[in-house]
Amino acid sequence: MTASPVLGRDDGPVRILTIDRPDKLNALNRQTLEALDAAFTQAAADGTVRVVVLTGSGSKAFVAGADIAEMSALSAVQAREFSLLGQRLMRRIERMPKPVIAMVNGYALGGGLELAMACHLRVAADGARMGQPEVNLGLIPGFGGTQRLLRLCGRAAALELCLLGAQVDANRALQLGLVNRVVPAAELEEQTLALARQLAASAPLALRGVLDAVVTGGECGLEEGLEFESAQFALLFSTEDMREGTRAFLEKRKPQFHNR
pLDDT 10s digits, 16-73 = 999 999 999 999 999 999 999 999 999 999 999 999 999 999 989 999 998 898 989 9
Catalytic: which of 114, 223, 227, 251?
114
Q: What is the CATH number of domain 6-200?
A: 3.90.226.10
C-alpha to C-alpha distance for 120 and 192, rounded to whole angstroms: 13
134 is catalytic: yes
Catalytic: which of 70, 134, 227, 240?
134
C-alpha to C-alpha distance for 110 and 131, rounded to whole angstroms: 6
Percent of the chain whose predicted confidence (pLDDT) is above 90: 89
- Per-residue pLDDT averaged across 149-153, rounded? 95
C-alpha to C-alpha distance for 59 and 33, rounded to whole angstroms: 21
Per-residue model confidence (pLDDT) at position 49: 97
Percent of the chain whose predicted confidence (pLDDT) is above 70: 99
Residue 213 has pLDDT above 70, yes or no: yes
Q: What is the CATH number of domain 204-250?
A: 1.10.12
Q: For the chain, where do the domains classified as CATH 1.10.12 start and end?
A: 204-250
Q: For the chain, where do the domains classified as CATH 3.90.226.10 start and end?
A: 6-200
Per-residue model confidence (pLDDT) at position 3: 83
The helix (H) or strand (E) run that includes residue 103 is strand 100-104
- Residue pair 52/96 in contact by the 8 Å Cβ criterion: yes
Residue 197 has pLDDT above 80, yes or no: yes
Strand 181-183 and strand 168-169: the pairing is unpaired
- Per-residue pLDDT averaged across 157-163, rounded? 96
As a whole number, the mean pLDDT across the chain is 95
Burial class of residue 206 (count of CB atoms within 10 Å of its CB; 0-12, 13-18, 19+): middle
- Residue pair 91/40 in contact by the 8 Å Cβ criterion: no
pLDDT 10s digits, 69-116: 898 999 999 999 999 999 999 999 999 999 999 999 999 999 999 999
Distance of CA 62 to the CA centre of its chain: 12
C-alpha to C-alpha distance for 178 and 152, rounded to whole angstroms: 7
Per-residue model confidence (pLDDT) at position 1: 54
CA atoms within 13 A on the CB side of 111: 29
